[in-house]
Amino acid sequence: MIVIACPGQGSQTPGFLNEWLELRGAQEFIADASERSGVDLATHGTVSDADTIRDTAVAQPLIVAASLLAWRELAARTSLAGVGVAGHSVGEYAAAAAAGVLTDGDALALVGTRGRAMAEAAGRERTGMAAVVGGVEADVIAKIQAHGLTPANRNGGGQTVAAGSPEALAALAADAPRGARVIPLQVAGAFHTDYMASAVPTLAAAAAGVSVADPDRPLWTNSDGTLVTEGPKFLELLVSQIAHPVRWDACMASFQEAGITGLIELAPAGALTGIAKRALKGVPTVAVKTPADLDAAIQLIADSAN
């Protein structure tokens, strides 16, 4: 089975949308996505600088819109029957739309609300995140918790993200787990922790107004890596996810159990294929960063079908 992965926050880079907007219908799609999300995605995806697109309220809808644009273009060029999908953190909204749980428009509207609510929550108190790379996972998690931090993203492939106060993160860096490095991340707050709890009611209220369907293809959840069977339940998980850890490691374990034969990461790609190369050894990957990468993705899907 081919799994198509939708990336999370931090995968965006200045100007990455330029080549995508040259595709037929792309400008119209991004214009509609901008209206739905309340963010000028064309400007932020083409000319805004790194600091601007790092803003949570901007980054989240920008990433989801780019993933959906890449998904639409891939679907127009090849059959995606039988392909599974999953998203990392905010990428779950793109995955929800790809699996038919949400419409593109509703996914983008919810992500706009999510980004603004999380940005507001992050502004209430100084917090941050740091990637812990290497080491023994059990030891890494124990050390993170010993410093009063949350293992907010358990990404697999030797990467765990710690989240909490700047002081605790600094203490962790000075007391790194054996064989591990602690790398500060350029994010606005401690996402996927209790620090984001104030954003949950805002997103829940917005989610109450959207239509939802059961997935029409295999779809895995960040909650515990299991397959989603009920759309309404997945929507509940999307809402609560912002204050709960991401278990991408569990998703990848489920991919293996399902017999994954390749992983394609949608734009703006790179992070999830990097993790997959370490955690899913021998599984071919394609990072669809630009439209030119679609040919390799199509070839991987064709190879898997043979």
Known active-site residue 89: yes
**Is there a contact between 258 and 218 (Cβ–Cβ < 8 Å)?**
yes
Q: Burial-class residue 153 by CB neighbours within 10 Å (0-12, 13-18, 19+).
A: buried
Q: Examine the pLDDT at 54 and tell me if it is beyond 80.
A: yes
Q: What number is the average pLDDT over the span 236-249?
A: 97
Distance of CA 82 to the CA centre of its chain: 21
Place of tokens 């990392």: 88
Q: Which of 34, 48, 89, 223 is catalytic?
A: 89
| 264 and 240 within one domain | yes
| 119 and 132 within one domain | no
| 208 and 159 within one domain | no
Q: What is the CATH number of the domain that holds 286?
A: 3.40.366.10
Q: What number is the average pLDDT over the span 18-26?
A: 97
Q: Could you give the count of Cα atoms lying within 13 Å of 93 in the half-sphere of its Cβ?
A: 31
pLDDT tens digits along 268-279: 999 999 999 999
pLDDT for the residue 187: 85
Total domain count for the chain?
Answer: 2
pLDDT for the residue 188: 85
- Triad 63, 52, 186: Cα angle to 5°: 75
SS3 298: helix
Q: Which domain holds residue 107?
A: 2-123+193-305
User: Which residues, including other chains, have CB under 8 Å from residue 306's CB and lie 6 or more apart?
Assistant: none
Q: Which of 44, 147, 192, 244 is catalytic?
A: 192
Name the H helices within the chain. 26-37, 41-46, 50-54, 56-77, 91-98, 104-122, 137-146, 166-174, 200-207, 231-240, 248-257, 271-279, 294-305
Known active-site residue 44: no
pLDDT tens digits along 152-170: 999 999 999 999 999 999 9
**Is there a contact between 273 and 285 (Cβ–Cβ < 8 Å)?**
yes
| 229 and 157 within one domain | no
